[in-house]
Amino acid sequence: MPLERQRVQDLEARCIEEQPPACTAGCPIHLDVRGMTDRLRTGDMAGGFAIVARFLPFPGILSRICDHPCELVCRREEAGESVRINDLERACVDHGYKASALPRLQRAQKRRKVAVIGAGLSGMTAAQDLALKGHEVVVFEAERHALPRIRAWKRPPLPEILIETDLALATAAAVTIRIATAVGRGLDIAPDRLLTDYDAVFLAAGAKASIVLAGEFGVSRAQDGRPEIDPLTFGTSHPKLFAGGSLRYTPAVYSPITSTYDGRCAALSIDRLFQGASLVANRDGQGPYPTRLFTRTEGYPPLPALPAANPARGYSAAEAQAEAARCFPCHCLECIKVCDFLAHHGSYPKRYIREIYNNDGIVKGARKANRLVNSCSLCGLCEAVCPEHLPMGDFCLEARQSMVGQGKMQPSFHDFALQDMAFSTGEDCSLARHQPGFTKSAALFFPGCQLAGSSPDHVAAVYAHLCDRLDGGVGLLLGCCGAPARWSGREALFRDTLETLAGQWRSLGRPDVITACSSCFSLLRTHLPDMTVRSLWTTLERTGLPAGVGLPHRTAPQGAVLAIHDPCTTRHEPDVRASVRALARLKGLAVTEIGDPELTSCCGFGGLMSFVSPRVADLTLDRRAAAGSDDFLTYCAMCRDNFARRGKRALHLLDLLFDTGGDPASRADPGFSSRQENRARLRQRLLASLWGEAPEPSTDAQPAVHLADDVRDLAERRQILMTDVRAVIVHAEESGDRFLDGDSGHFLACLRPRTVTFWVEYAPCDDGYQVFGLYSHRMTVGPEGRP
């Protein structure tokens, strides 16, 4: 089914990266402080001013007298002192002023008339905002000058030229200011006349005058005589009358930025009134509020604020740049910091979720987010570090399931992994038997397909030990839990695979299942609730280890330690992790942690990441490998093999518990071909050694095929198996369908055994064939490939 819109919106709302920093949320008019400081720290004073001018109606005035509540909530105070935001605003005005950055006049669909009573900050802000929207605004001021309170400002006094420059912004927006014009009964302008001649009136004449006027306007008033003002819309009981400014506050707490906020909010309400829109809709973020944005402040050195060399003149451009550099990068991005998949695509979850949702809904055209959807390892680390616990991995899995359901999944992403799963569950590898000599099983050992492919000797040794230590018979189940089908979004295939496995389990009498693989452990417990599933590691801690088996870490000097890497599927399995550490202690090993086990990272195999985005998988592996200089100790076969593939010395816990000889930390990654061969040989070996069933001799003689190390690495990267290479060569030799390169003497041949065409460059040698190159593709070439 397609992704559900409500589900998408709920997840988007949980991503807090787009939430404002604390300073912006604490500012009544929400100045973009982060944007301003980002520009100042690069010396872009004009860019900083452009932001200031977009938010402050009178930038010259407010940059000097703002009471800066933003600084009270600045996160920099947790490591030093708050950033001097107001001083930086002033520096933007002083050193970056550009008339071209000032707001431009808009054209209203229907020009309306507004009367503003009072030319203070609140009234002038409302007037300018409404005029910029194209309305006709007249301001009535009883004093002889506009902004009388600002002209009398003493801390410090403001230059007259600065006030007049800012006032010119209002007059440039076609605001008419009628000074020395008092409003009131028996005065210059009667209140009734304003309500008749104008489409809306904003009352901002100061506390005393406004209380009198409220009575004359006949609006509802509180016990102290002040008009009852809606704190959201600034409306009164009269539909055309709005009120705000200092009449809402006592003089002792006068706040220039709050008065500015009142005027801006009232202007918004008046403009909505003219448009016939709701006055209350979508105003949840109006005014100061606590932000949801999480900002990690640990690790930053405590730094004091930078004082201006000349406080009266304010910051120089260089001083402003230095002070802006103290500003934290107030972003969340906790998931981006730990996940190479999320970082690789250059954005953050909220945008990814929308991109994936849009991608899911495409009927015709390119689905450009397909690789994004399928590159996630589904490991859950992003959810673990997210302050809101947003499950990006779950959403990517849902998107994959939707793509499969709509028939839109690209086969190339997962075909190889699913073919490998089919081989693991096929007759050459799968096995379900009671312990020799038993007709029922109290327990069932399920090693999983990857341990059987990586280290079949360990599977045999562990099974023998469990048979020796556990009563009631221990059955053996070889196969796959279906994880590749689950991770690829093919839910029906996953359910079919699980049902086959469950049928084998039921045929053996429903014994307790002991898993060596943490992915199997997690999937079986989640999707087969009737099955009792135990981890091999908790079982071994309980049963004990064979006497004399295993070895100390022979390659390490005395006193060396191993760093434990926990598989990502044990993130929420503290008992399993504890047993692993207990087993290490039983072997006398010193181990160290690589950070918080609950924040462990994926090895790149989970979610089939390495099949879809091998580069991202390598980045993920390399980051984890760099987290510790000691040899790694893990208990996941794919984790160990992937670390080995990237050159990180790593051991599997079974290397220490059951000695297989040599230097286990230097064991190479077996690769895809050897894993398949190991699974098939393990089944044959156990059938012969435990149940006396020797395999029938093969009648098909397979030619010896030799690959140099670089060619073998190429085959791994291109997901080409040795069985496919042999098939191409055998077909070419028997059919004669091949090209000869006269210069090199090499043959070039191809074969399409399924949906993939394999090409091999080879030449005969003394004991078989030497391969020099290979590649594959899904195109069909020739008439049969035409539409």
**pLDDT at residue 559 greater than cutoff 70:** no
- Per the DSSP assignment, residues forming a β-bridge with 707 are 771
Six token digits for residue 238: 């009269």
Instruction: For residue 361, count other CB atoms closer than 10 A to its CB.
Output: 13
Could you give the CA distance from residue 724 to residue 730 in angstroms, rounded to a whole number?
10
- Which of 77-86, 109-118, 183-192, 778-787 comes out lowest in average pLDDT? 778-787
Same domain, 608 and 479: no
Do residues 635 and 374 touch, judged by C-beta distance below 8 A?
A: no
Same domain, 650 and 741: no
pLDDT at 694 over 80: yes
Question: How high is the pLDDT of residue 548?
Answer: 60
- Give the pLDDT of residue 553: 45
In angstroms, the CA 605 to CA 638 distance is 7
- Is there a contact between 542 and 554 (Cβ–Cβ < 8 Å)? no
Same domain as 217, residue 128? yes
Helix 349-360 × helix 5-14 angle, to 10°? 170
Note whether residue 24 is domain-resident: no
Bigger pLDDT: 747 vs 227: 747
623 domain residue, yes or no = yes
The answer to whether position 83 is within a domain reads no
Query: Which of residues 376, 409, 442 is at a domain's end?
Result: 409
Position 120 in a domain: yes
* Domain co-membership, 123 together with 223: yes
Res 213: pLDDT: 92
Could you tell me which of 421, 431, 424 has the C-alpha nearest to residue 485?
421
Contact present, 67 and 257 (Cβ < 8 Å): yes
Q: Is there a contact between 221 and 228 (Cβ–Cβ < 8 Å)?
A: yes
Q: Are residues 499 and 624 in the same domain?
A: no
- Tell me which of 640, 667, 694 is where a domain ends: 667
pLDDT for the residue 659 = 77
Question: What local confidence, expressed as pLDDT, does residue 545 receive?
Answer: 87
Of the listed ranges 62-76, 224-238, 631-645, 653-667, the least confidently predicted one is 653-667
Rounded mean pLDDT, 643-653:
96
- Domain co-membership, 438 together with 500: yes
Q: Domain check: are 566 and 658 in the same one? A: yes
Same-domain status, 534 and 588: no
In the predicted structure, residue 7 carries a pLDDT above the cut 90: yes
Give the start-end residues of each E strand in 363-458.
Answer: 431-433, 443-446
- Beta-strand relationship, 175-179 and 512-515: unpaired
pLDDT in tens, 288-345: 999 999 999 998 999 999 999 999 999 999 999 999 999 988 999 999 999 999 999 9
**Amino acid at residue number 307:** P
**Helix, strand and coil in the chain, % to nearest 5:** 45, 10, 40
Looking at residue 555, its pLDDT comes to: 44
CA-based Rg of the chain, rounded to a whole angstrom? 37
pLDDT at position 513:
98
Q: Are residues 124 and 207 in the same domain?
A: yes
Q: What is the pLDDT of residue 554?
A: 46
Q: How far apart are CA 286 and CA 429, in angstroms?
A: 64
Distance CA 471, CA 466 (A): 9
**Same domain membership, residue 572 and residue 650:** yes
Q: What confidence score (pLDDT) does residue 108 get?
A: 67
The mean pLDDT value of the chain amounts to 93
Q: What band does 782 get if pLDDT is binned at 50, 70 and 90? A: low
**Same domain for 271 and 123:** yes
Tell which residue, 15, 593, 650, 748, has the closest CA to residue 352.
15
Please, which residues bridge with residue 477 across strands? 432
Average pLDDT over every residue of 627-656: 96
pLDDT at 557: 39
Do residues 171 and 178 touch, judged by C-beta distance below 8 A? no
What does the pLDDT read at residue 698? Answer: 67
Q: Which DSSP symbol is given to 235?
A: B
Using the predicted structure, report yes or no on whether residue 516 has a pLDDT greater than 80: yes
How many CA atoms does the CB half-sphere of 181 hold within 13 Å?
18
Question: What does the pLDDT look like over 40-94, one tens digit per residue?
Answer: 999 999 999 999 999 999 999 999 999 999 999 999 999 999 999 999 999 999 9
Last residue of a domain, one of 230, 259, 275: 275
- pLDDT of amino acid 675: 97
Examine the domain organization and report whether 389 and 445 are in the same domain.
Answer: no
Residue 725 sits in which domain range?
704-777
Q: Is residue 760 part of a domain?
A: yes
Residue range 112-140: mean pLDDT, rounded: 96
Residue 402 near residue 2, CB atoms below 8 Å? yes
Which residue do the tokens 């194209």 mark?
134
What's CA 446's distance to the chain center, in Å?
A: 34
- The gap from C-alpha 497 to its chain's centroid, in whole angstroms, comes to 31
555 falls within a domain: no
% of the chain surpassing 70 pLDDT: 96
Assigned domain for 291 exists:
no
Chain center to CA of 730: 48
In angstroms, rounded to a whole number, what is the distance separating the alpha carbons of residues 681 and 456?
Answer: 8
Per-residue confidence band for 234, with pLDDT thresholds at 50, 70 and 90: very high
Read off the pLDDT of residues 352-390 as tens digits, 9 standing for 90 and up. 999 999 999 998 888 899 999 999 999 999 999 999 999
- Strands 431-433 and 474-478 turn out to be antiparallel
Instruction: Give the CA angle between residues 43, 44, 45 to the nearest 5°.
Output: 100
pLDDT at 80: 94
- Predicted structure pTM score: 0.90
Q: Which CATH number belongs to the domain containing residue 150 in this structure?
A: 3.50.50.60
Give the total number of structural domains in the chain: 5
pLDDT of residue 252: 58
d(CA 556, CA 587): 14
Sequence-distant (≥ 6) Cβ neighbours of residue 84 within 8 angstroms: 71, 305, 306, 323
pLDDT band at 755 (very low <50, low <70, confident <90, very high): confident
- Sequence-separated (6 or more) residues with CB below 8 Å from residue 399: 3, 356, 359, 360, 373, 489
Q: Does a structural domain hold residue 732?
A: yes
